Amino acid sequence: MRKTLFFLAALAVLVVSCKENKSLQYYQTDRTYDIVKVTEPAQDADVRNVIIFIGDGMGLEQVSCGWVLNKGKLNLDNFPVVGLSRTWCTDRLITDSGAGGTALAAGQKTAESHVGTAADGSDLPSVLVSARELGKKTGVAVTCHFADATPCDFCCHNVYRYNQEDLIADYVECGVDYLSGGGLDWFTTKRTDGRDITKEMAAAGYNVALDEAALMGSGLPVIGILAPDNLPVAKERGELFRNSVARGLELLSEDPDGFVMMIEGSCIDDWLHGNNIGLAMEELLDFDRTIGDVLEWAAADGHTLVVVTADHATGSLTLQDGDLAEGRIGVQFGSEGHNGIAVPFYAWGPGSRAFTGIRENEDFGKLIASFVK
């Protein structure tokens, strides 16, 4: 009898295990790449430029998956300083990109869905505003449309992230020198007020570039609106995002007073919401390639602080199977939403040793701003 019970128990565990394995999503990229190897400048070198990378939805679990897919290496491996950022907002334990991004941009926690505003609705100037007041150039490059939360956290002000018509109109007076992303429809055909914000941007002095070639040929101030909505997915857009970031560095660095630039891997989050591990990971890997490009540029410059973090993690992702030598992962999603787990941050360059420990996201934002002088 005891043998029979043991056999039935073992069979039950096997059945459950098989069911769990069937629920795993497996993925293996066909685009592995070599990472850069850079020498970090001296810690006491003057910080002239600050570059802020935000991987939307990119928690440690997503980074771990990307590391396996690229067979045990990421450009993030170059960062000598790593810490953790807590992401809760003033009215919820689980934040969104509005509140999470605003804390990073302005150094102050706010309420869910607020972009560039405090919990009481008052405007919060981002670090880009502080940089501009100091005579520095400013830039934003994203893979999403410009009406999405994170670019609005740095450029706009509204108590509700889905007031997209008002948010897009804010770009006319945002004062950011270099803007690159998607969302042409949000400037024109999706509007119900009949305004064409591209024309208003041009009237405000911006060069309006509607494709990559135009962006590469335009000077500051410029807004590159390179797709009707988000940029094409990573495998389809080729080098578009990386090229737009490189163009931003080229133009912004012409100013001897330096610059501050925010670069977002926006669509990592979108595909995590959809529980599509393949598309999410290709976005993360393209984001990491872009980080490698910027690290090479920053190493040659010698006066640039580079920080990388996330506004929150998405998908309750767990890495449960895979093969490092093959670059293959087997994952399971626990949700289609955000979670409250602390996210990693990384720092490289002069001043990077200040970015250690466990911090609130608002304190991380304040620390970034302290290097904008």
3-state secondary structure 71-119: CCCCHHHHCCEEEEEECCCCCCCCCCHHHHHHHHHHCCCCCCCCECECC
Residue 306, SS3? strand
CB 170 within 8 A of CB 156: yes
CB 87 within 8 A of CB 112: no
Residue 313, SS3? strand
Burial of 15 (0-12, 13-18, 19+ CB in 10 A): exposed
Q: pLDDT of 223-266, one tens digit each? A: 999 999 999 999 999 999 999 999 999 999 999 999 999 999 99
Q: What pLDDT is stored for residue 18 in this prediction? A: 40
Q: What pLDDT is stored for residue 262 in this prediction? A: 99
Q: pLDDT of 257-289, one tens digit each? A: 999 999 999 999 999 999 999 999 999 999 999
Tell me what the mean pLDDT of segment 183-188 comes to: 98
Q: What pLDDT is stored for residue 19 in this prediction? A: 45
Tell whether the model's pLDDT for residue 4 goes beyond 90: no
22 confidence band (pLDDT: 50, 70, 90): low
Q: What pLDDT is stored for residue 80 in this prediction? A: 98
Is domain 28-370 annotated with CATH 3.90.1150.10? no
Tell whether the model's pLDDT for residue 14 goes beyond 60: no
Mean pLDDT, all residues of the chain: 95
User: Structure tokens of 94?
Assistant: 């689980």
Of the chain, the percentage scoring pLDDT greater than 70 comes to 94
Tell whether the model's pLDDT for residue 12 goes beyond 90: no
Q: What pLDDT is stored for residue 5 in this prediction? A: 46
Q: What pLDDT is stored for residue 265 in this prediction? A: 98
Q: What pLDDT is stored for residue 163 in this prediction? A: 97
Q: What pLDDT is stored for residue 16 in this prediction? A: 42
CB 330 within 8 A of CB 321: yes
Q: What pLDDT is stored for residue 15 in this prediction? A: 41
Tell whether the model's pLDDT for residue 87 goes beyond 90: yes
Amino acid letter for position 171: Y
162 confidence band (pLDDT: 50, 70, 90): very high
Q: What pLDDT is stored for residue 13 in this prediction? A: 44
Q: What pLDDT is stored for residue 21 in this prediction? A: 52
Q: pLDDT of 297-341, one tens digit each? A: 999 999 999 999 999 999 999 999 999 999 999 999 999 999 999
